[in-house]
Amino acid sequence: MDKRIFADTKRKIYGYVTGHRLRDAFGYARSLAEGIMNWELSRELAGAEDNYRMMLSYATKGAEDPGRNDMVASLGNTILDIVDRLERENLLPSEPTLYYNTLRYERSQVSDSIGSLLDNYVKAAADGSIFTVISTGRYTADGHKSSVECEALERRIFNRIWVSHPLTAADEEALHLALSDGRVPLHAKELFGWALVLGGLQYHDSRRISLLLDLYRNEERRLWGVGLIGVCLLLNAFPERRLSRAASLKLQAVRDTPGWVHDLRLVNMELVKTVDTDRITAKIRDEVVPGMMKLKPEIDKKLKLNIEDFDPADMEENPAWQEVLVNSGLADKLKEMSEIQEEGGDVMMGTFSHLKTFPFFNDVANWFLPFHTDYSAFTGDGVDSGLSTVADVMSAAGFLCDSDKYSFMFSLEHVPSVQRQMMLQQFKSHDAQLAELRAASLSLPEADKRGVLNKQIQNLFRFFRLFRRKGEMPNPFAAGVNLSASGALVDDLRDPEALSLIAEFYFSHGYYQQALSSFALVTELVSPGADIYQKMGHARQKLGDYEGAVADYERAEMLDATSDWTLRRLARCYMALHRPEEALERLRILDSRRPDSAATALNIGRCLVELERYDEAVAAYYKSEYLDNKSAKALRPLAWCLLMAGDLHQAGKYYERVIAETVPTPEDYLNMGHLKLADGKFSEAMNFYSLNISARNGGENATGTAHKAAVDGFIADMREDAKYLRRIGVDADLVPLLTDAILYGDK
């Protein structure tokens, strides 16, 4: 069946299930099963529909059935599960995506199952374990070969778990045993956990969530992280889907544990932070790095460095270096990057994104492989290649996520051998620093939890953003992840303190739409203060929703009438909405509180101009100019108001200042022409009008299309200003005649 027709029908079925119209949902699902001639799933659908008909029969006879709603929900979920399986079967023959390529391969391996592959892996892992190495007394080439084979089997199992759907009871049992088996290395358990997550993002599967809930209760911190992140992402990806009874009971048991809500808030905050990754990356790429490159010549000159004698520690102590950074403004940017990193922001994404082209990253499983020092590429074929020392340091480097650590290690292969050996010697000579790094990783439990979640989420984010075939995968980060705003976990996260932290994060980083959603949830739970309405108003104002901003600012004003900040923003929004009377009212209050504000006087003048109260506007602009006579902000509007008030002499003085003290605009020449026209000085007026045309679109040398555009603009402005010319006593009928005269002269 054509996949577009299938997808369209699937959307309809989802809609019918959501609307509890199961008869229609069954009908469309049946048509899909018959269309691809899958009689096994047709029989499952028929059985489920028979159960639905029976339930309807009891309901129409008035029979009491307390479990009816649960049964309807369960039957709806059954329909959706079958439709998912039908979609896979429909796409399996020819869909070119990596998921279906992998699925076709795994389907061809009929003798394998998740259980048999895991059994083989447990044996292989035991043969290549460190205990076997110790017992033999040597690390042989055969041992290295065994490690390579184990790693290949890990990737194979990852792929099998990823594309298996739905997991069978046997699959679930085999995975449960493997994930709790002490013979399976920790890195492999985590890898298999991520395979559960990746496959669960493709299609909903309660058994995957059940296994991830088991991982969440594991004492190993990294497995705990996989379970927590995985459960959150899968529940968030399919909020409308119903868990199986077994998984639902397990989730409820987890919810009853004391640490669940705290852990949930922790992972929610880390997921929320991913929305800022692109901004951080762009800031480093567009501001920090170019700034450093521009400063390089000055730094070399000031520090007089010889590259052979260069020690990076000198930069931290050299006052000249600090002076260059401060004067350039780069010091503030570097400080900001440091603060972002301390908050858990991903400052390494841009740095390592270019190092994800190694063949290692062509394989999906490797993006999820935890960094471990006994990885075969680092141990060589039995002889220490030197990379093991670097791998030890990388293992302790808590500021890098796993995929970035692998990127760094593989990049060493491209370093010239001499420099590479120098680097390895430096690594070997810093045993004390390595010990400090490891000691630093033994942090407080809270920081440890946050650090684990932060790095694991960074691994995920890199895969969905940088993998070469990322467009084929359902990306949980595409629209941003905020578990407290949507999804099955929203009730566990409806805490005003936690929501406020998320809202403040969004607000402080400029994500105003997300901030509004979070602040709105806060206002549902507590009586908000003026500060929340101020922030909501500011967010709406930034988004261009001035009506909404006014409503929020007015609420803030009611709660705190003393805030000058609120009054200023409220006045600005009123002005944007062309409500000058209300803006003027707030500005008058501000002026009474702080009569020395040139900005307030300037805005009062603008409101009065819009109200065409030019005499009052003149007074406001005089005040603004007196209070701030350096910026020249009041010169143009003051000259215009004097002109509209009929004071041609004073208006002329100020327009002369505008032309002399600022860069004249075409509008300045136009208004000066109006003034001369009102004063009866026609020749001078025509001269200024000619200057207006020359100042547009390329100046006096403009020809052809540019010149025509300049003339058309002048004519349009003259028509628009006719009402103002009448106000200052100019005969409107004279305007088109003067225009033609100017254009004749222009030729």
Domain of 78 in residue numbering reads as 3-91
Token pair belonging to 657: 């200042």
Residues 82 and 111 in one domain: no
Residue 133 falls inside a structural domain: yes
Residues 681 and 743 in one domain: yes
Question: Residue 181: exposed, middle, or buried by beta-carbon count in 10 A (0-12, 13-18, 19+)?
Answer: middle
Residue 541 falls inside a structural domain: no
Mean pLDDT by 10 residues, the chain (747 residues): 93 94 95 93 94 89 82 93 96 96 96 96 77 47 78 97 97 96 95 98 97 96 97 93 92 94 94 89 73 59 50 49 55 63 75 89 97 85 62 82 92 74 61 52 68 95 95 92 83 90 93 94 93 97 97 96 96 96 96 95 96 96 92 92 95 94 93 94 92 76 76 90 92 84 74
Token pair belonging to 565: 């900040």
What's the CA angle centered on 584, arms 582 and 588, to 5 degrees? 125
SS3 state of residue 721: coil
Residues 141 and 63 in one domain: no
Domain end (from 91, 121, 143): 91
Residue 528 falls inside a structural domain: no
Largest CA distance in the chain: 111
Domain end (from 273, 293, 327): 273
Q: What is the 3-state secondary structure (H, E, C) of 436-497?
A: HHHHHHCCCHHHHHHHHHHHHHHHHHHHHHHCCCHHHCCCCCCCCCCCCCCCCCHHHHCCHH
Residues 174 and 269 in one domain: yes
3-state helix, strand, coil in the chain (%, to 5): 75, 0, 25
Residues 111 and 141 in one domain: yes
Residue 399 falls inside a structural domain: no
Q: What's the start-to-end Cα distance of the chain, in Å?
A: 71
Q: Where are the alpha helices (DSSP H) in 489-597?
A: 496-508, 512-525, 530-542, 546-559, 564-576, 580-593
Residues 256 and 122 in one domain: yes
Peptide bond into 166 cis (omega under 30): yes
Task: Compute the distance between CA of residue 570 and CA of residue 89 in angstroms, rounded to an integer.
Answer: 59
Residues 124 and 195 in one domain: yes
Measure CA 266 to chain center: 18
Pick from 484, 381, 420: nearest CA to 138? 381
pLDDT of residue 480: 86
Which helix H or strand E contains 728, and what residues bound it?
none
Query: Does the CA dihedral 301-304-306-307 come out positive or negative?
Result: negative
Task: Compute the distance between CA of residue 391 and CA of residue 402 in angstroms, rounded to an integer.
Answer: 11
Domains contained in the chain, number: 3
Question: Residue 576: exposed, middle, or buried by beta-carbon count in 10 A (0-12, 13-18, 19+)?
Answer: middle
Token pair belonging to 454: 């932060």
Residue 587 falls inside a structural domain: no
Domain end (from 246, 273, 300): 273
pLDDT of residue 151: 94
Residues 248 and 230 in one domain: yes
Residues 11 and 146 in one domain: no
Residue 54 falls inside a structural domain: yes
Pick from 293, 240, 217, 317: nearest CA to 81? 240
Token pair belonging to 627: 């209070």
CB atoms under 10 Å from CB of 91, counted, come to 18
Residues 110 and 236 in one domain: yes
Residue 413 falls inside a structural domain: no
Residue 526 falls inside a structural domain: no
Residue type at position 676: K
Residues 75 and 106 in one domain: no
Residues 23 and 120 in one domain: no
